[in-house]
């Protein structure tokens, strides 16, 4: 049986921390669908098209990694794509608390299970928000993102 999972996020931009979570996820699942969500409340630095391209180019040689964009609730995307698992990465206890609550939400409303994967210590400080601050302030950020992320 082929097991697949959705790894949702805004990926604005994708970081090496996200890459680590995808790589660890592939040790559990046969296929990972990176799902770029749109939140009307957020201001994005990169367009949806740019975010898709950054990720597609990075994973171009991985046939078991797919990339999609979506609007709405993640558990509805899971139902649409017939996926029973969501993968979420956590860096710290604050991330864990938030993700645990979201996991309950998705389990109760969509019968979708969430698999929480922790980042390594070397990547636990990296966030897309942090990377965007570096970019806005003309600081070096290239070592925090894959080489496909271009300004």
Instruction: Split the chain (151 residues) into runs of 10 and give each run's mean pLDDT.
Output: 93 98 98 94 94 98 97 95 97 94 95 97 95 96 96 85
Alpha-carbon distance of 50 to 145, in angstroms, equals: 14
Q: Annotated catalytic sites, by residue?
A: 18, 42, 91, 128
Question: What pLDDT shows up at residue 41?
Answer: 86
User: What's residue 40's pLDDT?
Assistant: 85
pLDDT at 86: 98
Give dist(CA 111, CA 105) in Å, integer.
Answer: 9
Q: What is the pLDDT of residue 42?
A: 87
Does some domain include residue 87? yes
> Are 106 and 86 spatial neighbours (Cβ–Cβ below 8 Å)?
yes
Report yes or no on 15 lying in a domain.
yes
150 is a domain residue: no
| β-pair partners for 114 | 86
Read off the tokens for 88.
């979420």
List the structure tokens of 113. 């299970």
Buried b (16+ CB within 10 A) or exposed e, 112-129: bebebbbbeeebbebbbe
Strand partners, 67: 34
Say what the pLDDT of residue 2 is.
83
Domain extent at residue 9 = 4-144
Count of domains for the chain: 1
- What CATH number corresponds to the domain at position 110? 3.40.50.620
The whole-number pLDDT of residue 100 equals: 96
Residue 121 lies in a domain: yes
19: in domain: yes
Cβ neighbourhood burial of 44 (10 Å; 0-12, 13-18, 19+): middle
Let me know if residue 149 belongs to a domain: no
């Amino acid at each position: 049986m082929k097991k697949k999972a959705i790894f949702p996020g805004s990926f604005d931009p994708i970081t090496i921390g996200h890459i680590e979570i995808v790589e660890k996820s592939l040790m559990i699942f046969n296929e990972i669908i990176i799902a770029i969500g749109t939140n009307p409340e957020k201001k994005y630095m990169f367009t949806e098209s740019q975010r898709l391209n950054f990720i597609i180019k990075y994973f171009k040689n991985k046939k078991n990694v797919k990339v999609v964009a979506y609007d709405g609730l993640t558990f509805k995307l899971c139902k649409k794509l017939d996926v029973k698992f969501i993968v979420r990465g956590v860096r710290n206890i604050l991330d864990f608390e938030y993700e645990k609550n979201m996991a309950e939400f998705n389990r109760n409303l969509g019968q979708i299970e969430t698999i929480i994967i922790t980042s390594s210590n070397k990547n636990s400080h990296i966030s897309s928000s942090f990377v965007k601050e570096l970019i806005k302030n003309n600081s070096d950020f290239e070592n925090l993102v894959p080489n496909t992320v271009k300004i």
